[in-house]
Amino acid sequence: MVRLLTYCLLFLILTHDVLAQDGVSFETKVSKTQLGINERLRVDFIMNQDGDNFVAPSFEQFLLVGGPNQSISNSWINGRSSYSKTYSYYLSPKSKGVFNIDQATIEVDGKVYKSQPVKVTVTAAVDQPKDPNDPEYVADQNIELVAELSNANPYLNEAVSVVYKLYVSNDVYLSGLNILDQPKYNNFWSQIIPINKLEIEQGTFKNQPYNYVMVSRAVLYPQKEGELTIEPLSLDISLEVPSQRRNMFGGFLRQTVRKTITAPSRTIRVKPLPEVGKPENFNGAVGSFDFSMTATPMVLKAGEAFQVKLKVAGKGNLKLFKMPEFQLPSSLEVYEPERKENINTNISGMSGDVTVNYTVVPAFRGVYPLPNVNFSYFNLKTNSYQTISSESISIDVTDGPVNNAASEDLRTKPKTTSNTGAFSGFKNQTTLQPILTQKFFNSKSFWTWLLVPLLILPLVLLLKQMKNARSADLIGAKSKADWKKAERYLKEAKSVMGDSKLFYAALERALYNVLKSKLKVSISALNKDGIQKILTDKKFNTSTIAELNSLLQSCEFARYTPSALDSMTKDYGRARILIVELSKI
């Protein structure tokens, strides 16, 4: 009886375990549901059974700073087994607001399970505990991102330069930098001035010697009066800060810290242009300019064309004002003007010239005076309006009919001439020749044009087939060449193991050449999204795709953050296994 009860109890325990294991649990856990924009968030996707084809959400409102990390836990407690598999991500918010961590999916025994979305609130930056030995605190105390303005109180349409500088003290070392969010410069005409190479320079900040890097610069022309705000710029940076640990020689070891830093917004107070003394023909030009009007040729015949060119040259808002217009006599036919710009924009503003070319055709003989043209602008050097007048020009039309309605010649009175000679230059007699007709149907030309295409068609098909064969051979040869490159780069990575930058650069080239060989696409097409889509379409295991993304991310981080030898050894082994998997494509 006792034995029977024991068997029954054991059966119930085993049945309970089996039933418990039939229920699949897949959930999302976050380290906190409310955080400041200067804090990090950990997201764990936890399942109680081993699954395949795990797909994480996009995390569009966050910057991925770590992960995915995978961990597995097996335990047997009091006769009961438990299993847990976790995918972990470390995120940094891009902006304030309320965001959802969307659903992730996993496949278990052919069924797809989804986690529940989690709502996270991102607030303004929060105060964090200030431990003098905390690397995050040390980094905060030794860096500063500032926006330097050339003029905080400009006139409307006056150039203002804004330069973003990252100041770094001598106690820390900048190892990586990436711009997260460029300002949009609302209510400004703006142009980003590219920085070809980031260079560390020496300067002074807070009355202390600092190193600084110029990370972004732009020239702005305010288009609105009053207070205008320049949006902040955000950076993702990697720093090496001293720690409390020492090396074998007694020196302090450094620790890598990754941070998101934002420059404070700046306010510009834009002054309106003065109304006192403003000319009627003022079209918004602000700066320092020269103005001229020229015409070529100045002597011609009726029906011929001449060019009138208005030119403004100097420094100022050359792209932002209208060129002056001028009136011509009605007997001159004027075509739509052509505008040409030769402008160079740098950190101090625009400089160069703008020209407007008018094509003019006189219909009658005479002398045509072109009235002088006025150009007005606001001079920033004198803070006053100035007007430049062009010299008057006379166009002499020496030959052609005379306009009886009103003479345009200001030097002599027009001669009376009848209009019968107005069309004397046109021919009024013809020399037409009869066209000889010839029978084309059933002629030699007819049969030649009919049969030649039929004879050429097989030749064209043969040439196309030969071309396709050569193309296939060429693709195969390129694929083999890419595979050999991958093997060479993998050997190169092994030979430079110990130097993280050289090692991961060679490892990255090896992975990309394997993908190029197998997927038969160019290196430029191998971005993160493109790789994932192609491999997913080819039914590759999600874990293989995640492993590839993890390795490529390690290669990218190695550009800014040094890696230990054991990490390089592990990544080399992972790469060899992954290349074997990719060879099955």
Per-residue pLDDT, 347: 92
Domain assignment present for 447: no
Confidence of residue 482 (pLDDT cuts 50, 70, 90): low
342 pLDDT more than 70? yes
Domain CATH for 485: 1.20.120
Distance from C-alpha of 129 to C-alpha of 45, rounded to nearest angstrom? 29
Distance from C-alpha of 221 to C-alpha of 196, rounded to nearest angstrom? 23
3-state secondary structure at position 412: coil
Same domain, 102 and 219: no
Distance from C-alpha of 134 to C-alpha of 295, rounded to nearest angstrom? 74
Looking at per-residue confidence, does 180 or 557 come out higher? 180
Confidence of residue 154 (pLDDT cuts 50, 70, 90): very high
Same domain, 224 and 305: no
Looking at per-residue confidence, does 529 or 20 come out higher? 529
Same domain, 320 and 225: no
41 pLDDT more than 60? yes
Q: What is the dihedral of CA 150, 152, 153, 159, to 10 degrees?
A: 40
Confidence of residue 422 (pLDDT cuts 50, 70, 90): very low
Count of structural domains within the chain: 4
| DSSP 3-state percent helix, strand, coil across the chain (nearest 5) | 25, 40, 35
Question: Each residue of 283-329: pLDDT tens digit?
Answer: 999 999 999 999 999 999 988 999 999 999 999 999 999 999 877 77
- 3-class SS letters over 76-93: EECCEEEEEEEEEEEEEE
Domain span at residue 107 reads 22-123
450 pLDDT more than 70? yes
Distance from C-alpha of 330 to C-alpha of 215, rounded to nearest angstrom? 57
3-state secondary structure at position 108: strand
Domain assignment present for 4: no
Same domain, 103 and 191: no
471 pLDDT more than 60? no
| Nearest-5° Cα angle at 340, 336 to 341 | 150
Same domain, 204 and 326: no
Q: What mean pLDDT is predicted for residues 553-573?
A: 71
Q: What is the dihedral of CA 510, 513, 518, 519, to 10 degrees?
A: 130
Same domain, 247 and 297: no
Closest to 482 in 3D by CA, of 519, 507, 529: 519
Domain assignment present for 147: yes
Domain assignment present for 303: yes
Do 216 and 164 contact (CB within 8 A), yes or no?
Answer: yes
Say what the pTM is. Answer: 0.50
A 10 A CB-CB count for 506 gives 22
Domain assignment present for 461: no
Same domain, 395 and 513: no
Name the H helices within 343-499: 444-495
Per-residue pLDDT, 425: 39
Q: What mean pLDDT is predicted for residues 51-78?
A: 80
Q: Quote the tokens at residue 381.
A: 């050097």
Most confident of 166-175, 286-295, 561-570: 286-295
Domain assignment present for 423: no
Same domain, 511 and 391: no
Domain assignment present for 437: no
Considering 69, 88, 123, which residue would you say is the last residue of a domain?
123
Considering 102, 123, 144, which residue would you say is the last residue of a domain?
123
Domain CATH for 331: 2.60.40
Looking at per-residue confidence, does 77 or 365 come out higher? 365
Same domain, 140 and 240: yes
Do 167 and 212 contact (CB within 8 A), yes or no?
Answer: yes
Distance from C-alpha of 473 to C-alpha of 496, rounded to nearest angstrom? 35
Q: Quote the tokens at residue 476.
A: 């195969």
Total number of residues shown for the chain: 585
Same domain, 205 and 291: no
Per-residue pLDDT, 256: 85
Considering 369, 385, 413, which residue would you say is the last residue of a domain?
413
Same domain, 221 and 332: no
Domain assignment present for 291: yes
Per-residue pLDDT, 98: 92
A 10 A CB-CB count for 357 gives 14
Domain CATH for 106: 2.60.120.570
Q: Quote the tokens at residue 142.
A: 């030794």
Same domain, 115 and 26: yes
State residue 454 phi and psi, 5-degree precision.
Answer: -65, -30
Distance from C-alpha of 123 to C-alpha of 104, rounded to nearest angstrom? 25
